[in-house]
Structures are given as C-alpha cells and as structure tokens.
C-alpha cells in the first residue's frame, strides 16, 4: 500500500469542524432614548462588520426590531452580503420572564407574539430575509415561552457558547470563555460592539485566526 494511503487509513477520515458566529444587535427603549437625545450615536462597532466582510466570515445577526428601525441603512447595507443572515431577537429587549437582569417584563402571550411578529416584519422590510431562528432577550424564558415561540414556526437558538462579552472589558477572559466550551457545531453568542460590548472587535481578531488554525470553518444560521 502506498505510504500516503497507509497514513490516511491510520488517522482516519478528516471530519469537517464548524463554528457558528452569532451576534446580538440589541436595542431597548432606554437605548433608543439615548440615540434620540444624542447621548449615543451608535450602539454598534462598525469595525465588527468591517472585519467580517473583509475576511469573508459568515455570521448571523439576531436583531431587535427596534435596532433595525434605528439603523435602517445599516441593515440594508449588511443584507447585501450573502455571508450574513438576520434572525429574530424580539422587538425592544423586553423579557419574556420576570427578573431578567434590568429588562422590562412582557406580561401576556399576546405582547410576546406582537413583539416577535413586529420584528419579523421589520427585518423582512430592511433585509428581504425571513428569519427562521429566534433568540430570547437576555436568554430568559420558560417552557411555556419555548412552546409559544415554536408554535410561531421558529427554531430557538440561544447559543451554547456564551462569550460573556457584554459590559466586559477583559478581552482575554472573553476569549477563554469561548474556547473553554467551543466544539464543532457550537453557536457562539456575542454582540456587535458599541458601548455595551466594547471588546468585540478585539476578540474577533483573536479568535477567528485561532479557530481557522484549528481547522474550523464558519457557517451561517439560515
């Protein structure tokens, strides 16, 4: 047997390894108020998008409807990139359960359905895409909420690798959080930078080449 075939038999087939990068594009009513009064101009880091585009990295954005309405031109521009998908993150960061961080709580099923449906319409309007995945604000939900979302035809995806990038300025710690749990098929939950997640671009610059060196490829949720 030729040596290269013998080695191939010994090490076994090469199994593709996949990582899904996902980014929450959040916007609460309080955040919107700061935009309108000029306290904050952008709740995102344009460098995050530039990095993904320049390196042709597929990514999925879980978008709050209020974020899309606040930055319609950004949404339209990003939607021209075939490596990006846009998924539903409810409308204004209101929680589906009580005591979810500082988020306002939705109290009825109809409120929850309205938030999801409104976001669906907004994302379709600005991107031309129809989301099929849903992520709960704050990742807070009950079994009843899970069923409600599934009944609307969505697949729930809250990620299995939580980067803990929100309000975190420790780049090394965020990177360790990611690599401690990441495996083939993992969905990494990050944010799109801005005041609430200031180190996302630095983290991306660190983890993307490391995943590539380990033989991973990036795919998009669609």
The one-digit pLDDT tens for each residue of the chain (222 residues) are 444 444 444 444 556 899 999 999 999 999 999 999 999 999 999 999 999 999 999 999 999 999 999 999 999 999 999 999 999 999 999 999 999 999 999 999 999 999 999 999 999 999 999 999 999 999 999 999 999 999 999 999 999 999 999 999 999 999 999 999 999 999 999 999 999 999 999 999 999 999 999 999 999 987
Would you state the pLDDT for residue 198?
96
Residue for token digits 């995102």? 44
Using DSSP's 3-state secondary structure scheme, residue 181 falls into helix
Cα 111 from Cα 109, distance rounded (Å) = 5
Q: Which two tokens stand for residue 197?
A: 């997640």
Q: Give pLDDT, residue 216.
A: 97
Specify the 3-state DSSP secondary structure of 101: coil
Exposure string over 148-164, b if 16+ CB within 10 A, otherwise e: bbeeeebeebbbebbbb
Which neighbouring-strand residues pair with 179? none
The pLDDT, as a whole number, for residue 101 is 92
- How far apart are alpha carbons 205 and 183 in whole angstroms? 19
Nearest to 52 by CA among 25, 17, 23: 23
Residue 19 dihedral angles phi and psi, to the nearest 5° = -130, 140
Nearest residue to 120 via CA among 146, 142, 96, 149: 149
pLDDT of residue 16: 80
What integer pLDDT is reported at residue 13 of this predicted model? Answer: 53
CA atoms within 13 A on the CB side of 183: 2
In the numeric block, the tokens 């990050």 are attached to: 190
Fold topology of 16-208: TIM Barrel (3.20.20)
In 3-state terms, what secondary structure has residue 17? strand
Encoded tokens for 73 = 């031109």
Tell how far CA 192 is from the center of its chain: 8
Report the pLDDT value the prediction gives residue 7, as an integer from 0 to 100: 43
The pLDDT score that the predictor gives to residue 4 is 43
Using CB atoms within 10 Å of the CB of residue 220, give its burial: 0 to 12 exposed, 13 to 18 middle, 19+ buried.
Answer: middle
Quote the pLDDT of residue 14.
Answer: 55
**For position 221, what pLDDT does the model report?**
81
Domain ranges of the chain: 16-208
């Amino acid at each position: 047997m030729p040596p290269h075939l013998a080695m191939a038999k010994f090490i076994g087939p090469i199994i593709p390894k996949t990582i899904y990068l996902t980014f929450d594009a959040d916007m609460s009513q309080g955040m919107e108020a700061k935009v309108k009064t000029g306290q904050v101009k952008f709740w995102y880091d344009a460098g995050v998008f530039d990095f993904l585009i320049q390196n042709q990295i597929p990514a999925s954005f879980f978008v709050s409807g209020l974020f899309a309405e606040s930055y319609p031109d950004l949404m339209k521009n990003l939607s021209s990139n075939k490596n990006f998908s846009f998924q539903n993150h409810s409308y204004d960061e209101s929680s589906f359960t009580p005591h979810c961080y500082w988020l306002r709580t939705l109290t009825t099923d109809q409120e929850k359905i309205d938030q999801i449906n409104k976001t669906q319409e907004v994302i379709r309007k600005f991107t031309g895409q129809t989301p099929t995945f849903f992520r709960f604000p704050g990742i807070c939900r009950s079994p009843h909420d899970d069923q409600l979302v599934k009944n609307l035809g969505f697949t729930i995806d809250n990620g299995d690798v939580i980067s803990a990038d929100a309000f975190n300025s420790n780049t090394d710690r965020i990177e360790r959080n990611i690599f401690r749990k990441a495996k083939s098929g993992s969905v990494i939950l990050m944010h799109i930078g801005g005041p609430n997640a200031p180190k996302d671009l630095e983290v991306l610059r660190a983890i993307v080449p490391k995943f590539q060196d380990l033989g991973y490829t990036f795919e998009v949720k669609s």
